Amino acid sequence: MGCSNSGATEREVLIDGERCGIMSGHAYGLNDVIDIWDGPEGSKDRNNHRLLRVRNPWGRVEWNGPWSDYSEEIEEHKKMILKYVAELEDDEKFELQADDGTFLIDY
């Protein structure tokens, strides 16, 4: 599957005047849909975080908002995300903080 951000030319999208790492007029590979849960099972305080694993075919330029490589969300849920990565097939594995074009983004 794939996804894109509409636009006539490839340029970085700004959110509230800040660069976000997403390019307009550019296609991305949608590699996986992930659910990350936090909190004790059965608890009312348990949250489900729905994420997409996306890859920029350029192999660089990545999302830099929530759930990006160095975000608070990644740090808070690092154990669960590393467990997810470890369970992937070898050719699907990626490094969380590598500039390789692969990133997580919530939906």
- Is residue 58 within 8 Å of 100, Cβ to Cβ? no
- The helix or strand, by DSSP H or E, that contains position 35, with its residue range, turns out to be strand 26-38
- What average pLDDT is seen over the chain? 89
Residue 2 has pLDDT above 90, yes or no: no
Question: Whole-prediction pTM value?
Answer: 0.85
Residue 66 confidence (pLDDT): 95
Is 54:3 a contact under the CB 8 Å cutoff? yes
Distance CA 11, CA 89 (A): 33
Read off the pLDDT of each residue in 45-66 and give the average, rounded to a whole number: 91
3: confidence class by pLDDT, cuts 50, 70, 90: confident
Return the CATH number of the domain spanning residue range 27-106: 3.90.70.10
At residue 34, the pLDDT reads 94
Q: Other C-beta atoms within 10 Å of 71: how many?
A: 16
